[in-house]
Amino acid sequence: MKKNNVSLIEKMLIKNYSKYYKLAFSYVQNDTDAMDIVKEYEYKAIKNANSLKNIYYINTWIYKIVINQCKTFL
């Protein structure tokens, strides 16, 4: 796992936590479910850090993980 990718992902997750949570909530319309999705996408983002090919798209990459997690949940 690329250590600098993990570090960048962790920083982005912390910096934009509320945005990602709001996105998840907009899909599921339930606080508890949105929190579960948040926990899951954080895990997946860190676990799959090596699949991030271009760090300039890190925010888009995380948004895609959140959306896919919401779709899987629904």
Domain positions in the chain are 3-73
Mean pLDDT of 13-30: 96
Residue 44 contacts residue 69 (beta carbons within 8 Å): yes
pLDDT band (50, 70, 90) for residue 72: very high
**What's the pLDDT at 2?**
61
pLDDT band (50, 70, 90) for residue 3: low
Q: Is this prediction's pTM over 0.75?
A: yes
Token pair 């910096």 is at which residue? Answer: 15
Query: 33-65 pLDDT, tens per residue?
Result: 999 999 999 999 999 998 888 889 999 999 999
Q: Which CATH architecture has domain 3-73?
A: Orthogonal Bundle (1.10)
Residue 6 half-sphere exposure toward CB, CA atoms < 13 A: 7
Residue 30 half-sphere exposure toward CB, CA atoms < 13 A: 8
b/e burial code for range 58-70 (CB count within 10 A of at least 16 → b): beebbbebbeebb
